[in-house]
């Protein structure tokens, strides 16, 4: 095995991007400034799936990280039944092993959530270390601390998580609060904070003019998984109370999850006619929905660094959210948006009423939010930070 590692000098040839519907690797040509004169093997869910990790991977890919750092992406998880998911992971493991045996991989970068995602990535990162390859554990899940504390296996699980974190060359987290948690849980882990990337549209007015809904006023938007954890049912209760105070506004909801229950609750509360269910929103439709919105709301109970909040800020929207997970590191209350505690429905009503009654406040908060994410979280900045992390773990020689 040592001979394989020492022989790492060959380059991967030019290949077109290939996508297998079950398990795929996305191949990119070598870049002249790739960090290790080899390949970065990135592991994660399919970029075509729904959810935060998929959005992050797609943003990094589209912004040029794969070309700049010679990244080859291997899909370890897809939507579907147990057999489809299992087949995907078996195929991903075979692809990863074949690449590691080639001697060209110098970094393995895994995007990790909880439960099955952790176990899949922990196994592949362990395998990479057996080949002497640097490993990066990129933590995304806002409920990972809960998983580590209460997950199946108790003390054995905690020891496995701690060892995985501490034996990784680098642990990337989304916020200072998650950095502090990792340092407390796994003191020997090497941790770096890199936020999620967001694309900042250069011309919001042009998007609004192309949007048939751009002249609509009084619109509140929620994007995310519809359920208790994201605060969707707190939102519909708050909207019903708000509608009684300031009628005429509409609530647009995009996402998947417990949709039927949500719409039934809207019916029970008497506001179904004021609620627009959008389905899962992506691409140009998401741009149009954001551009047509006055207030964005995510009253979540737990987050890492939610892409929906970043996207709303990038579109200059007035924002109401909760100070959970990485959100306090992402924005400041009354400067970039408004905060309400999770589950505080009366407080959420007050925030909605305050913003609805003040177009000036909405404009001020939205402008400050957009300026902030452009300076800190623009995808170009995040690509540069991740590329530098690859260089660092290779040059430091840490395995």
Element (H, E) at 151: none
Q: What is the dihedral of CA 79, 84, 88, 94, to 10 degrees?
A: 170
Same domain, 155 and 208: no
**What percent of the chain clears pLDDT 70, i.e. is strictly above it?**
86
**Are both 360 and 388 inside the same structural domain?**
no
The number of distinct structural domains making up the chain is 2
Residue 163 near residue 132 (C-beta atoms within 8 A): no
- Crossing angle for the helix pair 52-62 and 307-314, nearest 10 degrees? 50
User: Which CATH number fits the domain that encloses residue 48?
Assistant: 3.40.50.2000
| Residues 178 and 223 placed together within one structural domain of the fold | no
* Partners of residue 191 on adjacent β-strands: 171
Asked whether residue 234 falls in the same domain as residue 260, the answer is yes
175 shares a domain with 67 = yes
pLDDT score recorded for residue 31:
44
What is the average pLDDT across 251-257? 95
Is the pLDDT assigned to residue 14 strictly greater than 50? no
Both 171 and 271 in one domain: the answer is no
Do 336 and 279 share a structural domain?
yes
- pLDDT at 324 > cutoff 70: yes
pLDDT of residue 250: 95
Q: What is the DSSP string of 155-223?
A: HHHHHHHHHHHHHSSEEEESSHHHHHHHHHHSTT--EEE-PPPB---S-HHHHHHH-TTTT--SEEEEE
297/369 same-domain check: yes
Between CA 144 and CA 78 the distance in angstroms is 20
At residue 67, the pLDDT reads: 95
Q: How far is 143 from 104, CA to CA, in rounded Å?
A: 35
Sign of torsion, CA 375 378 384 390?
A: positive
Same-domain pairing of 150 and 226: no
387 & 312 share domain:
no
Q: 151 and 208: one domain?
A: no
Q: Which domain holds residue 37?
A: 2-197+379-396
């Amino acid at each position: 095995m040592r001979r394989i590692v020492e022989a790492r000098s060959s380059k991967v040839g030019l290949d077109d991007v290939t996508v297998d519907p079950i398990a795929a690797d996305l191949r990119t040509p070598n870049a002249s400034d790739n960090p290790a004169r080899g390949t970065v093997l990135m592991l994660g869910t399919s970029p075509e799936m729904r959810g935060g990790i998929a959005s992050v991977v797609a943003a990094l890919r589209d912004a040029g990280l794969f070309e700049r750092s010679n990244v080859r992406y291997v899909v370890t998880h897809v939507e579907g039944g147990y057999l489809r998911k299992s087949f995907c992971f078996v195929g991903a493991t075979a692809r990863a092993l074949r690449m590691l045996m080639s001697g060209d991989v110098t970094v393995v970068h895994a995007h990790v959530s909880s439960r099955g995602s952790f176990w899949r990535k922990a196994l592949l990162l362990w395998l990479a270390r057996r080949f002497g390859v640097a490993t990066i554990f990129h933590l995304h899940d806002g409920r990972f601390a809960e998983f580590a504390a209460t997950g199946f296996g108790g003390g054995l699980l905690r020891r496995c998580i701690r060892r995985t974190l501490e034996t990784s060359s680098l642990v990337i987290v989304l916020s200072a609060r998650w950095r502090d948690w990792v340092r407390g849980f796994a003191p020997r882990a090497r941790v770096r904070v890199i936020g999620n990337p967001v694309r900042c549209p250069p011309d919001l007015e042009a998007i609004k003019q192309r949007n048939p809904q751009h002249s609509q006023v009084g619109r509140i938007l929620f994007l995310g998984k519809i359920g208790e954890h994201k605060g969707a049912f707190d939102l519909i209760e708050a909207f019903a109370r708000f509608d009684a105070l300031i009628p005429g506004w509409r609530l647009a909801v995009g996402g998947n999850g417990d949709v039927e229950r949500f719409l039934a609750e809207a019916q029970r509360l008497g506001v179904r006619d004021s609620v627009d269910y959008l389905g899962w929103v992506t691409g140009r439709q998401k741009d149009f929905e954001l551009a047509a919105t006055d207030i964005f709301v995510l009253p979540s109970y737990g987050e890492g660094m939610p892409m929906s909040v970043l996207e709303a800020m990038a579109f200059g929207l007035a924002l109401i959210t909760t100070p959970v997970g990485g959100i306090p590191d992402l924005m400041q209350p009354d400067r970039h948006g408004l905060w309400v505690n999770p589950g505080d429905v009366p407080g959420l009503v007050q925030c909605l009423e305050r913003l609805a009654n003040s177009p000036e406040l909405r404009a001020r908060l939205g402008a400050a939010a957009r300026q902030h994410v452009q300076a800190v979280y623009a995808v170009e900045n995040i690509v540069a930070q991740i590329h530098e992390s690859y260089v660092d773990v290779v040059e430091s020689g840490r395995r």
